[in-house]
């Protein structure tokens, strides 16, 4: 699956089978279900989940909390749109 196929899958009712927990969270966010995405990533305790967690809090408008999670992920807050960051995260999570 590539990012184009991933985006197309957002028209479905459920995430595609076999997605990682990270991509599943991003899928729900892509569907507009911030809460489901957040619930998924808050169960994980690693750099990938921290990055998604940071993005979600940035999207929510909680700058302090986003900054905390970017630090936990070892990343700087990006100077790109939320859409661009979402695509960057999805692409990285798809990489082997």
> Residue 96: what pLDDT?
78
Q: Torsion-angle region of residue 58: left (phi > 0), alpha (psi -120 to 50) or beta?
A: alpha
Q: Are 3 and 29 in contact (CB under 8 A)?
A: no
Q: What is the mean pLDDT of residues 63-72?
A: 97
Q: Given this model, what pLDDT does residue 15 score?
A: 96
Whether the CA torsion 71, 73, 76, 80 is positive or negative: it is negative
Residue 46 in 3-state DSSP? coil
- Whole-number average pLDDT of the chain: 96
Collapsing DSSP states into helix, strand and coil, what is residue 15?
coil
Q: What is the share, in percent, of the chain residues with pLDDT greater than 90?
A: 97
The per-residue pLDDT for 48 is 97
Q: What percent of the chain has pLDDT over 70?
A: 100
């Amino acid at each position: 699956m590539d990012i184009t196929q991933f985006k197309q899958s957002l028209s479905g009712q459920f995430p595609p089978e076999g997605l990682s927990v990270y991509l599943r969270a991003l899928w729900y966010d892509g569907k507009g279900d911030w809460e489901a995405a957040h619930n998924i990533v808050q169960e994980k305790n690693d750099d990938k989940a921290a990055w998604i967690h940071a993005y979600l809090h940035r999207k929510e408008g909680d700058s302090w909390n986003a900054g905390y999670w970017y630090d936990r992920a070892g990343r700087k807050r990006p100077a790109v749109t939320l859409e661009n960051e979402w695509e960057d995260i999805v692409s990285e999570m798809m990489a082997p």
